[in-house]
Chains A and B, each alone.
Chain A
Amino acid sequence: MMLKSEFGSSSKKARPVASDDIAMSCRVRLARNLAGERFPDWATERDRERVFSKVREALSAEAPALRVSSVATFEEQERDVLCESHLISKDLLARAAGGGLAYAADGSVCVMINEEDHLRIQGFADGLDMRKAWQTADALDTRLERHLDYAWTPDLGYLTACPSNVGTGLRASAMLHLLGLRLLGEIEPVVRGLERMRLLVRGIGGEGSEAAGQIFQISNMDTLGVDEAAIVQRVMRICAEVVRQEHNARVRLIHESPLVLVDCLARSLSVLQNARLLATFEALEFLSAMRLGASLGLCARLKVQDVDKLILLMQPGHLQKGMGTAMTSDERDEMRAEFLSRKVANVKLKC
């Protein structure tokens, strides 16, 4: 299953390559709850199953193209794959009873059922096209509200399990690859600046995760008192500015610190080609460098889209799915090193 939420996709032709290489993907999430029902954290299994069946009914009436599944029916490997593709969260997996997922085959939209909130509608798009992600999520939300009674008040808007999401229930986020700023030692001031502008800066795995591979998820903090279009517009505008800064950093790296750049690329390629054991986290660090090299045209026979695929395929769930077997952590590290060394065997640096 190839999804737009996965890093990279084939529809990148229309946009300037450099910007899209930095802004990997974006999404807009809407948190919704049903009136008169306990929020999932406090609900009994029976409550959650009732909510699941109401949502499933609404989905089959309004979005029959979406495939709806109960989390309990997913096999372990499938769960990991969906999690790594950012379609479901670990939180949802932890609430097996009544937990569900509905997703479009083209990967443009999905709904998590009974995660932290009863519904989490997510629209996905490439690069920084957040408006498209918002329109997709909003359209589905508008259709579903014909069948579902949402918990909403004129004062507080959409009522959510955690007050940090109340109001619009909207979180607009972009995944940015900022290795250039890291190599120049300029990432910390950028992150501090974003936080001062009331944006959340997280790692690749969302809340509580480290920015492994210098891939940052940037999203809005405020969900109340600002309307949806303004939130999306603001996050897009600020992320576009960060992309511009990263672009400048990459240009400066080439002209002012070429040795730092080449050293980073050469070390990373060497490890990827020769390592016998590679953990996910360290593999991501080296692939991140390859991604930068490919983006700058410094790696022969390697495109950014290829690296994006490798970033996904080397993760535990995808790796096991690819090999068709369950593996221990040590076995996976060995298999990952072997898989990556094979994939980058013919890559050569042009510098």
Chain B
Amino acid sequence: MKCEMCHNAEAETAITKETAGDLQELYVCQACANKALRQKDSESVPPATGVPSLPLMGMIMDAAFEIVGRALNRAEPSCPVCGILRNEYRQRSRLGCPACYEAFSKELDSAIFDLHRASRHTGKAPEKAKAVWARKRLEAQLDEAVKAQRYEEAIALRDQLQKLDGPKDEKKGGPA
């Protein structure tokens, strides 16, 4: 998941931000989290007295505790996409997003086997996803063949990959 402030880096933590009197939770990268904290800090210092008002101080402390708390919890496995921690999904028995299956695969694999007495899908596959996974598999095989200097195999795999792009390439190369 991308940082909801800079929209560039991957989100690593959550902060609360006040917008028009409402508290909003944002998933942000560490740099933006620090920036937000510094900004809150400077906003909370009234120019007249130099002492933050109590509600603002409370909010800053909350935000700080939240950031530190999340950072400390990093030792616990978390999903890199949605950010939920292992304990959080255990408490609700619901995963956070599709990427959690990969993030928590160590313990999920055995839990899934216990639930279904099976570990591999047999059945329907959506055409779009099938195509994406077929490409991924070919790309991985191509990388492996190149690394191992099996060039004939690599050329065959490259041709197969090009075939997947076939119609697009023909259009591009065809007469106007």
Contact = CB atoms under 8 A, between A and B. Distances in A.
Contacts of A154: 121, 125, 133
A145 B132 CA distance: 14
A197 to B, nearest CB: 12
In terms of DSSP, what is the predominant structure of the interface of chain A? loop
Contacts of A224: 112, 115-116, 118-121
Contact of B123 (A151, A157, A161, A164): A157
In terms of DSSP, what is the predominant structure of the interface of chain B? loop
A155 interface: yes
A42 B94 contact: yes
A42 B97 contact: yes
A225 B124 contact: no
A146 B127 CA distance: 8
Given A152-B129, A225-B122, A42 B96 contact: yes
B145 interface: no
A168 B123 contact: yes
B106 interface: no
A256 B175 CA distance: 86
Interface residue tally on B, bucketed by range: 20 to 34
A33 interface: yes
B164 to A, nearest CB: 16
Contact of B128 (A39, A149, A167, A168): A149
Interface residue tally on A, bucketed by range: 35 or more
B25 A168 contact: no
The residue in A33, A35, A42, A146 that gathers the most chain B C-beta atoms within 10 A of its C-beta is A42
B118 A149 contact: no
A226 B122 contact: yes
Interface of A: 33, 35-39, 41-42, 44, 116, 138, 141, 145-146, 149-159, 161-164, 166-168, 170, 198, 222-228
Interface of B: 25, 81-82, 84, 92-98, 101, 108, 111-112, 115-129, 133
